[in-house]
Structure 1
């Protein structure tokens, strides 16, 4: 799930005006923050995929045991 600007400001504990100001006056800081949120989303998605693969692996193990 992609975070909205409002979600990000709430998580950072800052006002929406602050993040807009950073975007304008401190683009490097704003970029670092955005990359941090993107990385967090990437890790979350990767973990979900790993969990799905583990479930698939477990179901395949059960299927192969039942066939013996």
Structure 2
């Protein structure tokens, strides 16, 4: 897979549960969760949701997310 972080960020933001399961099957659960914890270009709502899930799995999300400021200011 050429750009797994970009792909996972798109699925986390716009995909459904079947898309998440498909990526877990392709990448493996541990690899998917590790890459999901690195996702920075997601909406605040998505970030909050996945941060909660990853913390329940014992995976800390310590990276800063980059989308807190508007793009066109």
TM-score, normalized by the shorter chain, greater than 0.5: no
TM-score, with length taken from structure 1: 0.29
TM-score, with length taken from structure 2: 0.28
Who wins on radius of gyration, i.e. which is larger?
1
- RCO higher in structure (CA 8 A, sep ≥6): 2
Q: Which has the higher helix share?
A: 1
